Amino acid sequence: DQQVKQNSPSLSVQEGRISILNCDYTNSMFDYFLWYKKYPAEGPTFLISISSIKDKNEDGRFTVFLNKSAKHLSLHIVPSQPGDSAVYFCAAGSSSNTGKLIFGQGTTLQVKP
Amino acid sequence: DTEVTQTPKHLVMGMTNKKSLKCEQHMGHRAMYWYKQKAKKPPELMFVYSYEKLSINESVPSRFSPECPNSSLLNLHLHALQPEDSALYLCASSQSSRRTEQFFGPGTRLTVL
C-alpha cells in the first residue's frame, strides 16, 4: 500500500518556465511533508518542507503548496534552470511516528536549455 | 558544518565477509537514520536512533546490525549478506526525530558478490 504517490515518473520543462511536481498521500496522520532533490550517485538533498498547519511555504525559487482536504501537495520551481534537472522525491511524516519518513517513487525532472 | 559524511563510498564484499559502514555528523543532531535505496526506487527506512538509542527497526534482517557509539557517529555492521542486499545505503541525521528535516549523506554503494 503506497501511502505517498508521485504519479508522474518524469517531467520535461523549458528553461525559465515553471516546473510543477505533484504528490498525493493517503494517510491522514501525516502532518509534515518534505521535498528532496537527488542527483545520480548522491544522497538526497533537502529542499523545502511544510507543516500541516500551513498551506504554503516559499524559499527562493521553490514553493510548496499543501491541500489537506485533497491530500495533495505540489512543488513549484520558478524559474526552472538546467541545474534543477534531477529526481525529486516528496516525503511525509507523522509526529506520532517519530523519525519515519515515507517517500514517494520520485519524479525525474529535465529542464531543457 | 551542515554535512553528513559516509565511508566508504563504494564497497564490494563476498557473502561470507564482515564489513562496516560508517556515518558521521557534527551538526549536533540527536537523531540518526539508516536507509536503503535500490535503483529507481525511493529510500526505505531501516533504523532510527534517537539520543543514541535505537527507536525504530523496520524489521531489518539480523545480518544488518546498527550501532551508535556516540551522538555524532553511526555504524552499520554487515555480515553474511546476500546479493539482493546490493544497494545504496544512506545515512541521515536530524535535529530530533520529531518533525524535523533529515539531512542525508552521499551514501555507500554496496555490491555483494
Identify the pLDDT of residue B99.
Answer: 65
Average pLDDT, chain A: 94
Supply A12's cell numbers: 520535461
Neighbours of A36 (CB within 10 A): 27
Partners of residue B32 in chain A, C-beta under 8 Å? none
Mean pLDDT of A39-60: 93
Q: Which residues of B touch A52 (CB under 8 A)?
A: none
Nearest-5° angle of CA A96, CA B24, CA B3?
Answer: 85
Q: Is the pLDDT of residue A97 over 90?
A: no
**Antiparallel, parallel or unpaired: β A32-38 and A86-93:** antiparallel
The verdict on a CB contact (< 8 Å) between B101 and A106 is no
Q: Which candidate in A100, A102, A107, A108 is best for mutational testing of the B interface (most B CBs within 10 A)? A: A100
Q: Round to whole Å and give the CA distance between B29 and B95.
A: 4
Most confident of the ranges A2-6, A72-76, B11-15, B93-97:
A72-76
Q: How far apart are CA A3 and CA B55, in angstroms?
A: 22
Chain-wide mean pLDDT for chain B? 93
Q: Specify the DSSP element, H or E, that contains A53.
A: none
Q: B105 vs A43: CB contact, 8 Å cut-off?
A: yes
Instruction: Report, as an integer, the average pLDDT of A61-77.
Output: 97
Q: Do residues A43 and A110 make contact, with C-beta atoms less than 8 angstroms apart?
A: no
C-alpha cell read off for A42: 548522491
Give the pLDDT band (50/70/90) at residue B8: very high
Chain A residue whose CA is closest to B95: A99
Q: Residue A99: pLDDT band by 50, 70, 90 thresholds?
A: confident
Cα separation, B44 vs B34, whole angstroms: 9
Q: Do B102 and A46 touch (CB under 8 A)?
A: yes
What's the pLDDT tens digit per position in A31-44? 999 999 999 878 99
Rounded Cα–Cα distance for residues A93 and A85 (Å): 25
Confidence of residue B52 (pLDDT cuts 50, 70, 90): very high
CA dihedral A76, A79, A82, A83 (to 10 degrees): -70
* Average pLDDT estimate for A84-103: 90
d(CA A106, CA A10): 8
Q: At CB < 8 Å, which residues of chain B contact A?
A: 4, 6, 31, 33, 40-45, 48, 50, 55-56, 88, 90, 92, 94, 97-99, 101-107, 109
**Count of alpha carbons within 13 angstroms of residue A44, beta-carbon side:** 30
User: Between A44 and A95, whose confidence is greater?
Assistant: A44
Residue of A nearest to B90 (CA): A43
| pLDDT of amino acid B82 | 95
Give yes or no for a cis peptide into A79 (omega within 30° of 0): yes
In the predicted model, is pLDDT for residue B100 greater than 80?
no
Q: Is the pLDDT of residue B97 over 90?
A: no
Tell me the nearest-neighbour CA distance from A66 into chain B, angstroms: 16
Q: What integer pLDDT is reported at residue A74 of this predicted model?
A: 98
Contact A93 B105 (CB under 8 A): no
Q: Which amino acid is at A7?
A: N
CA distance B83 to B85: 5
Digit-coded pLDDT (tens) for B9-27: 999 999 888 999 999 998 9
CB atoms within 10 A of CB B16: 8
Confidence at residue A16, expressed as pLDDT on a 0 to 100 scale: 97
The pLDDT, as a whole number, for residue B2 is: 62
